[in-house]
Copies of this chain bind each other. A is one copy, B any other.
């Protein structure tokens, strides 16, 4: 319970939104939330204001807060930006790689290999996240790292959908291998290119998924 109730609530509500417990478009009633969490309205409002600032909900003056529904197109756009940022992170990582970062990447990459080999998509989902975070950290750019982590977080629910797709798991891992090679070889441009497509593909896969669901 992170020091003050406002922050705790922010994280709590954020998780609820990202896990679809609060559905997109749903109205968030301050009083209801306050009762549910056993606090007064004040910290609830503080949490909501923060989520509004982050862009997860929208507060319309005098009309309450609703969960933002990004919509397939906007999610694709977010993947597009994510791909670009990850590409930059990879490029910087390749140029600035030091021992600690190299070991972190090797370790997380190894864990991905295990879970991919075992076909455990839940484990891979988690290990994959750590692998990408290791690359962000290796970029040695605090700001970039923060931006990447934040976007990654917002895209998390949509990533998860795709790992169940046939062969995606092993394809993803082989892409990781090429990325690691490029970074360790100090080839920034190649790392950038590989990461950009690696992440960009997820946006396209997501579009395909939505398209196939729409025609169904």
B88 near A84 with CB under 8 A, answer yes
Query: C-beta contact mask, A135-162 vs B, less than 8 Å → 1, else 0?
Result: 0000001111001000000000000000
Chain B residues in 8 Å Cβ range of A143: 74, 77-78, 80-81
Chain B residues in 8 Å Cβ range of A46: 45-46, 49
Of all chain B residues, the one with the shortest Cβ separation from A54 is B53
CB distance from A49 to the nearest CB of B (A): 5
Q: Judge whether A167 is part of the interface by a CB distance below 8 angstroms.
A: no
A77 near B142 with CB under 8 A, answer yes
Q: Judge whether A6 is part of the interface by a CB distance below 8 angstroms.
A: yes
Residues of A within 8 A of B (CB): 3-4, 6-7, 42, 45-46, 49-54, 61-62, 74, 77-78, 80-81, 84-85, 87-88, 141-144, 147
